[in-house]
Every structure is written in structure tokens, then in C-alpha cells.
Amino acid sequence: MKQAQTHLNIQTRGRGLIEITDNIASWIASEEVSTGLLTVFLKHTSASLVIQENADPDVLIDLEQFLGRIVPEDPGHYRHRAEGPDDMPAHIRSAITQTALSIPIAQNSLCLGTWQGIYLCEHRFRPHTRTLVLHLTGE
């Protein structure tokens, strides 16, 4: 059984969803693992990961608007404001989504559905560099 690990840095432009499927698929292809399991782990508490539709950009807009409704930006709602008024809402958004994904690998490719993509969700207003750890186990 083979194992491989790398770090992937993604530059965000502020709040929003960034598709990272191609970045991850390129690394998988270079590792030549026919069958296995990929773990994608995000090393941050104010960003997250989701697998979501990548065909219609309206899905991402609707998802962002929904998160805005359930996690208000009003700083009067939160005690934690040490890093700015968007920090605690970012932590909550991260808590209700995911910071790690497990994705099967078959025929040296991600086993995603036809319209599925992997997204990094930046929950802060200003740009950040986000670090992911990719860990691949397989044969």
C-alpha cells in the first residue's frame, strides 16, 4: 500500500467559494494510485470545505446567501471579536460545514459525481492564504 501527502496553498479573494477540484485532481494524477482514499484537511477555523454542484454558478450564490441568513453578521450577537466583526460568523460557518473530506479514488481519479466539485469556502471578508493537507492511501 502506498501513502502520499502534500500541502496545497490556496489564495482567496475574500468571502466566497473557490473550486479546487482541478488542483487536487492534478496531484492525484501525479501520484499514480489506481484505487484508494483521499483525505483533504483544511488547517483553518474560519474557512471550510464542501462538495457541491459545479455546473450552475447560481448554486454557489444561493449557498452563500443561505449561510448569510442563518449566520448573521451583526457583531452584537457575539462576544468573540478579537480579529474583527466577521471572525465569529466565520467560525460558525466553518463549524456547520466541514474542515475535512474523504473522497474515494478509482482509476487514478477522484470518484466525484458528474456535477460535483470540491470547494474551499472562505468565510472571512479579506483575502487569505489557506493551507490544505492532502493525504492519499492506496495502490
Predicted confidence (pLDDT) per residue in 108-118, tens digit: 999 999 999 99
Q: Give me the sheet containing 2-11, strands edge to edge.
A: 2-11, 129-138, 35-42, 100-106, 109-110
The pLDDT, as a whole number, for residue 10 is 98
Q: What is the pLDDT of residue 82?
A: 87
CATH of 2-138, one of 1.10.3470.10, 3.40.50.720, 3.40.50.300, 2.60.120.460: 2.60.120.460
In this structure, what C-alpha cell is assigned to residue 103?
473522497
What's the mean pLDDT in 127-134?
A: 98
* Average pLDDT score over the chain: 96
Per residue in 82-107, pLDDT tens?
A: 899 999 999 999 999 999 999 999 99
pLDDT grade, residue 40 (50/70/90)? Answer: very high
What pLDDT score was predicted for residue 75? 80
Segments in 4-86 forming alpha helices (H) = 21-31, 57-70
Are the beta carbons of 121 and 21 closer than 8 angstroms?
A: no
